[in-house]
Amino acid sequence: MELKGKIVVITGAAGGIGRAMARRFAKEGPRRIICADLDGPGAMAVAAEVGGWGLATDVSREADIVSLIETVEAEEGPIDLFCSNAGIGIGGGAEAPDAGWTRIWEINVMAHVWAARALVPLMSARGGGYLLNTASAAGLLSQIGSAPYAVTKHAAVGLAEWLAITHGDQGIKVSVLCPQAVRTAMTAANPEGVASIDGMMEPEEVADDCVAAIATEQFLILPHPEVLDYMRRKTGDYDRWIGGMRKLNRRFQG
């Protein structure tokens, strides 16, 4: 899909990958970019940069996502590309508090579900549309030190796969973005963490990869190409891969 002349919505657009997407997509000549974020002023500031408009949106609430979609469709027109990009990370394992598990599940998984629930019928009725969901390499591999992050990102990848399989014949295109470490607020607290083992990527590089993937309607977006090799090792010998990950866990968890 070409972005020229299209209406694009990006959640989590006030910073990091979302902000980089907005800036990069703007170079392709879209009709309008709508920037949504819990940080309303931040979303509006990015929107002002790219000639779009910004909205305060809490993606942990289905009502906010529905309102975002309804507002854009009423005031701008049919959404061509919806980038469900907002996400959070927390540490811990099964012992992490229920409140933490619930919040990360709502943002990292249900936000994608709620967007698809609202948009797929609309897009199908008009012959197609595009969903770009931000997950993580953790959704293909795992995440040392965070069960909630690993589990929710696996679920996000699974949902994207299901949407592509189930609604592809209705013209719904789906991409899932799975980077390793990207220089954002999420990684700032631990820049030398396990996710940066193959280097810390800039958000602008990730946004470039997204534009290229959208142009070819590619499902899996891997800004860190090493992840594909890791996936092959995992499926080639699961037990050996688990052993290697245990070594990595000892190295980074102490």
Query: Which residue, 111, 107, 131, is CA-closest to 121?
Result: 131
Q: Which two tokens stand for residue 37?
A: 């974020």
**Secondary structure element (H or E) that encloses residue 220, with its range:** strand 220-221
* Residue 11 phi, psi dihedral angles, 5° rounding: -95, 160
Task: Report, in this order, helix, strand and coil percent for the chain, each rounded to 5.
Answer: 55, 15, 30
Q: Which candidate in 130, 149, 230, 238 is catalytic? A: 149
User: Which residues, in sequence order, are CB contacts of 137 under 8 Å at separation 6+?
Assistant: 178, 179, 180, 195, 222, 224, 227, 230
What torsion do the CA atoms of 179, 184, 190, 191 make, to the nearest 10 degrees? Answer: 70
Residue 149 falls in the annotated catalytic set: yes
Tell me which residue has tokens 């936000």. 111
Nearest-angstrom CA–CA distance, 174 and 128: 11
Active site residues: 149
